[in-house]
Amino acid sequence: MENARGMCADGAGNMRGENKGCGKRLQRKYPKSIYLWCTSHQLNRVIVQSSKNILIQNMMTMADKVAKFFYNSPNNQKVLTDIVLNDPNKTAREKDKLKLMCRTRWVERHDAFETHLQLYSYVVETLTTISQSPNYNRDARSDSESLLRGITDFSYIATLVLTSKIMGYLKELSEKLQKPSLDVGSAMELVDTVQKCLQQVREDIDRYNNRWYQEAKEMANSVDAEEKVPRVAKRQTQRPNYQVEDAKDYYKKAVLIQFVDFLLSEMEDRFSALQCQAVKALRLVPETFLSQHGQKISSEDFEFYLSDIEGIALEQELHSWKVFWSNKPERPKTISETLHAVGDNFSNIVKILKIAATFPVTSCSCERSISALKRLKTFNRSTMKEERMNGLAHLMIHRECIINTDDVVQQFANAKPRRLHFNSFMSR
């Protein structure tokens, strides 16, 4: 643990607590071990805080109800599947099953939005068929009719389209932040890219709103949904109450602007610590190092790493580093590219870059192993002890290893005296 330079976990109180949190306790004992909040969890909290808009919440609730309507009934799902497969215009990319809204990982909801948009016309046709068919019971017809009214409302359609467009910017980011090989510099670049994209959308909000709102209108026209502004009142405080002339301006203010502004604000607040840790290491990347425009970089900027390097010649090594890359036409832009380019030269700078490259960015891999534990420790094995569970886990992880069954039985037979002769039993 003396060599630990970083630890990554979620933002739960038992890990992040200022006094008794696990991260704080470890940092008191090992001051060089920096606690970093998992970037994937941070992105998840960004979306949670940004999605508190009442229109977005209502849309997500309705979409989840529709998905559960088919998920909980094989008969309803069969009707939807038949309608999708019998469509001659169906493309190979279209699926035949809706996805549920994930309760914990909000960053995974963009897949549910995409599937819902692809199957929207089929879902409307399916709900119409079930609500008008005498072959279904009264509850099924009533539920399908209620859901049909909800998803054919223009407020639902406009909110679904606008929200899915913004969530599309976060899809690739959420996937990349879950990779175990991601370093802190690359993570910061990904976050910065998404922030710049959202900032451009905010600055040119009218152009993006016109294009996306037109898609929502075409989607509404396909199901004969009336374009209208929700009812507003002077003293209304429980939902967006904008005094506008048309529906396009209403949903621009009530959904698009609010969602983008909240995302930008939350990303700026929650990813600031990540940027502080990454900037120190990124200063040594040649492309950044030589683009400081006269800004002096000294050994004092790397006090955190002084106990890990040898000698006191870091100042001279930084000077040599600058001269070395000034004569190169092509310069690395990331930490990994820099390490591959220099090899064993510049030992102190290489050590600093290696430490920075190993700063943990995400804890998703650890959590996946916990989620996969239920494959071994099922409900029928709830009383299994740790020794047997570890043995089964090793068998599952190292499945490429060949196990001799006879040797296992022989070892079990010799463990203690037994009346049953296992050798003769196996030889039969």
Digit-coded pLDDT (tens) for 192-243? 888 899 999 999 999 999 999 999 999 999 888 888 887 777 666 666 777 7
Residue 351 has pLDDT above 50, yes or no: yes
* Region for residue 370 given its phi and psi (left: phi exceeds 0; alpha: psi -120 to 50; beta: otherwise): alpha
277 pLDDT band, cuts 50/70/90, is low
Query: Tens digit of pLDDT for each residue in 372-424?
Result: 777 777 777 778 888 888 888 888 778 888 888 888 888 877 887 767 665 54
Residues 6+ apart with CB under 8 A from 404: none
pLDDT, residue 293, reads 44
Partnered with residue 8 across adjacent β-strands are 36
265 pLDDT band, cuts 50/70/90, is confident
- Lowest pLDDT segment from 155-169, 213-227, 257-271, 406-420: 406-420
Q: Are 97 and 64 in contact (CB under 8 A)?
A: no
Q: Round the average pLDDT of the chain to a whole number and report it.
A: 79
- Residues 237 and 232: their CA atoms lie apart, in Å, by 10
pLDDT, residue 152, reads 92
| pTM across the whole model | 0.72
Residue 146 has pLDDT above 90, yes or no: yes
pLDDT, residue 301, reads 67
DSSP classification of residue 225: P
What does the pLDDT average to over 84-103? 76
- Residues 61 and 58: their CA atoms lie apart, in Å, by 5
pLDDT, residue 161, reads 92
Partnered with residue 9 across adjacent β-strands are 37
| DSSP string of 104-154, one letter each residue | S-GGGHHHHHHHHHHTHHHHHHHHHHHHH-TTS-HHHHHHHHHHHHHHTSH
Please list, residue by residue across 191-213, b when 16 or more beta carbons sit within 10 angstroms of its beta carbon and e when fewer do: beebbeebeebeeebeebbeebb
* Exposed / middle / buried, residue 247 (Cβ in 10 Å: 0-12, 13-18, 19+): buried
- Residues 278 and 394: their CA atoms lie apart, in Å, by 36
What does the pLDDT average to over 143-158? 92
